[in-house]
Amino acid sequence: MTDQETVPNPYLAAIRRNRAESVEPAHALASALDRAVSAMEAGAWVGGRADSFHDALTSHRTTARNAGPRALQEFDDAAAAQPELVEPTSWQVHWHNLAP
């Protein structure tokens, strides 16, 4: 197969486009709960169930901080597994027509 028989991989292009659109939300997710945790640590709620709420909130913040980078890494891994050029009849050219 020569380069004249191949086309740019549209599936790869879609992965890259979606990754680029996900960078800002991924970064926003990383800091989404920072203010709530800071407020709790500054004494916004004390006593009763405050400590368990703070622990749960901190755990959720850690999960959120990790979720964005993990999602971006999944895009990177998917892109790395794709060739730049594919045959015009490949599934990558017709991927959007494939039924789930």
pTM (2 decimals)?
0.80
Interatomic CA distance for residues 90 and 98, integer angstroms = 12
The C-alpha atoms of residue 42 and residue 44 are separated, in whole angstroms, by: 6
Residue 1: is its pLDDT beyond 60?
no
**Of 91, 64, 82, 98, nearest to 19 (Cα)?**
82
d(CA 74, CA 70): 6
Residue listed under structure tokens 């800002």? 24
pLDDT at site 96: 86
Which tokens in the block code for residue 72? 């971006």
The residue count of the chain comes to 100
Q: Where are the domains of the chain?
A: 3-97
Of 14-23, 31-40, 77-86, the least confident? 31-40
| 40-90 pLDDT, tens digit each | 999 999 999 999 999 999 999 999 999 999 999 999 999 999 999 999 999
For residues 13-28, average pLDDT: 96
